[in-house]
Chain A
Amino acid sequence: MKTKLMIAAALAATALTSNAALAGKADDTLNWSTTRDVDVALPYFNNVRETVILTRHTWDNLLYRDTKTFEYKPLLATSYKWVDNKTLEFKIRDGVKFHNGQPFTADDVVATYNLVSKPDSGVLTKRNVSWIDHAEKTGPNTVRVYLKNTFPAALEYVSGPMAIFPKDIWATAKKDAKGKPDYGTVAPIGTGPYKMTKVVPGERIELEKNADYWKGSPKGQPSIGKIVFRTVSDPEAQIAELLSGSLDWIWDVPKDKADQLKLIGIANVVSAPTMRVNYLAMDVAGRSGKGKDNPWLNDKVRKAVAHAIDREAIVKNLVGGAAKVVHSACYPSQFGCTSDVPKYNYDPAMAKKLLAEAGYPNGFSTDIYAYRQRPVTEAIMGYLGKVGIKTNLKYMQYKALRGFAWDGTAAFHNMTWGSYSVNDVSAIASHFFNGGRDDYCRDQSVIDALKKGDTNTDPEVRKAAYKQALTTVAKKLCWLPMFSYSKYYSFTHDLDFTPTADEIPRFFTAKWK
């Protein structure tokens, strides 16, 4: 406890000398930080979590999903209805203004939906928009959205990633290297409780309270005056800044540090479950090479990997909090998710036996790609090493790894997926096993089953189809799902903040104490 005393003494010392803290309650500015640098701060054109968070603050969608009941509440739409299985109708709210003063109308909804659903719009996560065929204004305050196929999860996406932009903004896009318009360069104008006032790509993003935010929104009225996001790439610098007061809020604190922070007591430490799932992907489809020297083609090898890793130990010792081992390629609360799939227990002896049967009695060497929480990947490497699989770590930034995953180079990778916080299996399994660039399974039966689940309106049919797909994925081990995350948040005692399970901190409902 010597450290505790020292830090307490230091606190006392600084009570006398005021170290310029441009943060916190004193100047009504909430400084939050992550280690990620954000180059594009717009929805659709960036898929990092930080963008998802900023999107909720700066833009509104047609609907808002309640954080506790998961019901869809009216936001920019006052009501909705399913006209038929492939058509949604929304009544549009009056009296809302964009941050630039322009009034919000049904035309803006139509323009946004039509642009982002275009195949060459540059939207990064196609799943979020590929269900839309087109949108039409069918009355002064009415919009119809036509779906390509029946897609019952549509409302998850309407209330999730589908932020509404002003209709004229798309024409202001700059041209990119290919000579096409890069829609990721338009100004960040929305109708949300905060205005995005300053963007320094890779460094900081500033939000200011929208004092004219329309009353009656389920998001409430914003209280904190200014919100500043800063990239602090060094996790220790983050902690130090939190301790010294120049940062008010951080998250993704590793368990060891969180435990220590709790001991010291300078800041609040809270843990909350998240929908984010950690997984190991293996190249079943032979995308990295179909030759005999690709060990991932052999299903005994993949089973060996599944038995070699002690997931419970990793969850208990490295991740902590509300984290749990996950057996299927989805998060338990997501619609269609089931854990009634083949499971693999920790059995290193069995792993070695399987490897020998597969023709690798002395194991083999492979690259393992990862981008996040290195200790988890290193623990995985350690367990694999114990059964003879020697791994060479290729640790890199998310964007770089994403590229390798997409082009098939990363035959064995350890990544995570937050499903955009969409509470439906279509946001995870259908994204990863639909035959697209993220799919290392490329199994037609899975692709068909997922399509059925995505497009059928009967919940029982959907569940059965998803179960079939998830079972095949678990059997084939295209993915070894590892665990669902628990996130540790740490923030100043002056802040009244409650984390939510969807991993989207809502600063617009936070207040100073």
Chain B
Amino acid sequence: MDTGIRLALTLAQIGAVMVAVLLTVALLTLLERKVLGWMQDRMGPMEVGPYGILQPVADGLKLFFKEDIIPAGANKFMFSMAPILSLVPALIGFAVIPFGPDWTIDVGGVNFKPFVITDINIGVLYILAFASIGAYGIILGGWSSNSKYSLLGGLRSAAQLISYELNVGLSIVGVLLLSSSLSLVTITNAQAGGFWNWYFFAWGSFPQAIAFMVFMISSIAETNRTPFDLPEAESELVAGFFTEYSGMRFAFFFLAEYGNMILVSCVATVLFFGGWHAPLEVLQGPEWMHGITGIIWFAIKVASFLFLFFWIRATLPRLRYDQLMRFGWKVLLPIALGNIVLTSIFAYIFP
């Protein structure tokens, strides 16, 4: 009985989060084109619905009905597995992110936390681990397409991913030092109060602004976004490891990319910007409203980071591959390590 209730509640939570994420991904495909268009003195898609709102529907239908081609000589199993291997880690990371306050509701004898699907105490490690598995999907996708351009694109992307994963991990260590916990719920709760408590500003400890910058740049590289999108750029390497994919498989890679983007924005808000907390106590509303306002503030922050992703895409040209690798290893890695050293010194002197 208990198990049944808990199972039903968890499934409902997962369903809600997945629906929200997938809808956001669909919306993002449209929003990216619109925002990029507005920044480039043009309108984005305007034809399909009023102001182009139904464009994701049209895109989804098109990809759904496209012919599913598997190249001759491709490894069929790997070819089909690769998009799934890319998509699942992107979506699975949402299981540990707290969207609202840390309430515990008692439903029929079952303790139930409505705003986080599961509060495991190694949340950060879980997310990093699944991001690494996402790299598998790309390598396999590139290799199993039986095309030299895809292979090269896949290898380059994989090398880029593992280099920048290191930086992501190291930039997070500063936050972990300040909060002494890997659980995202604990980290969020430690940033309660006003915006000066957010780890980005970290009043009373070493501000993690530098770590945030490293994290942001590395996560742009992790998700293969411009300016680090050489492996998947349309004009270089003929779209890289995407080349041989069409129809629904291509849609999965796309979903994986945008899902990763949302995941990374959510992780950035939780780790550096206080998660669901409002900038000032008073803006959070009365105690009973914390649930709703928590989700609203979380959404506002995630939306700002997604806008930052689009903004950077509209501004910067692409980095060449060797520039990219040099930047990751020679610039960001020392900065991240330096941040860890400084944070620990600060934390030691002012505990």
Q: Do A and B originate from a single complex?
A: no
The interface of chain B, by Cβ under 8 A from chain A, is none
The interface of chain A, by Cβ under 8 A from chain B, is none
